[in-house]
């Protein structure tokens, strides 16, 4: 969703488009890094030192509510945010935690009834981490 479309949704909701809110929307637009709220705050605060954490957190919650952002939760880890609201899946690197989108993955679901939504997260060592071999496992011979 383009920044302009997101801003239009915010206006339709009666929200002001403040400079920090605009910076949040622009930072997230096309962002494939799946940032945390902390990441968003750091980026926006570098440009707008007056932006508060409360503004970032409330704007993220509002964007999720408007369907312009998808929260990604995994266990105890901090929530990450995905501006790609189309149906897709993710790979997560078990070494560094990097999340990448997987577009159009064919995943067969065998279930009696109707599947209304599904999210799949594949565990896969990313390209950067695959360059370095894993540490020797206990009991393995080198």
For position 56, which CATH number holds? Answer: 1.10.10.10
- Whether 122 has a pLDDT exceeding 80, the answer reads yes
Residues 101 and 74 in one domain: no
Pair of tokens at residue 29: 């637009």
The confidence score (pLDDT) of residue 137 equals 47
Q: Which residue has the higher pLDDT, 108 or 35?
A: 35
Residues 41 and 70 in one domain: yes
* Rg (alpha carbons) of the chain, rounded to whole number: 18
What pLDDT score does 23 carry?
97
> H helices within 13-141, ranges in order?
19-28, 37-47, 53-65, 127-130
Question: For residues 73 and 25, which has the higher predicted lDDT (pLDDT)?
Answer: 25
**Domain count within the chain:** 2
Question: What sections of the chain are H helices per DSSP?
Answer: 3-12, 19-28, 37-47, 53-65, 127-130
- Domain residue limits at 56: 3-82
């Amino acid at each position: 969703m383009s920044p302009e479309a997101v801003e239009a949704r915010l206006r339709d909701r009666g929200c002001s488009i403040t400079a920090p809110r605009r910076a949040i929307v622009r930072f997230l637009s096309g962002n494939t890094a799946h940032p945390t709220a902390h990441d968003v705050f750091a980026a926006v605060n570098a440009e707008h030192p007056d932006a508060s954490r409360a503004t970032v957190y409330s704007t993220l919650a509002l964007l999720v509510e408007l369907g312009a952002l998808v929260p990604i939760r995994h266990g105890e880890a901090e929530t990450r945010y995905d501006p790609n609201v189309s149906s897709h899946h993710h790979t997560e690197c078990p070494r560094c935690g990097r999340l990448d989108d997987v577009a159009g993955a064919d995943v067969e679901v065998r279930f009696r009834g109707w599947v209304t939504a599904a999210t799949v997260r594949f565990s896969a060592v990313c390209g950067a981490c695959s360059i370095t071999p894993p540490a020797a496992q206990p009991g393995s011979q080198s």
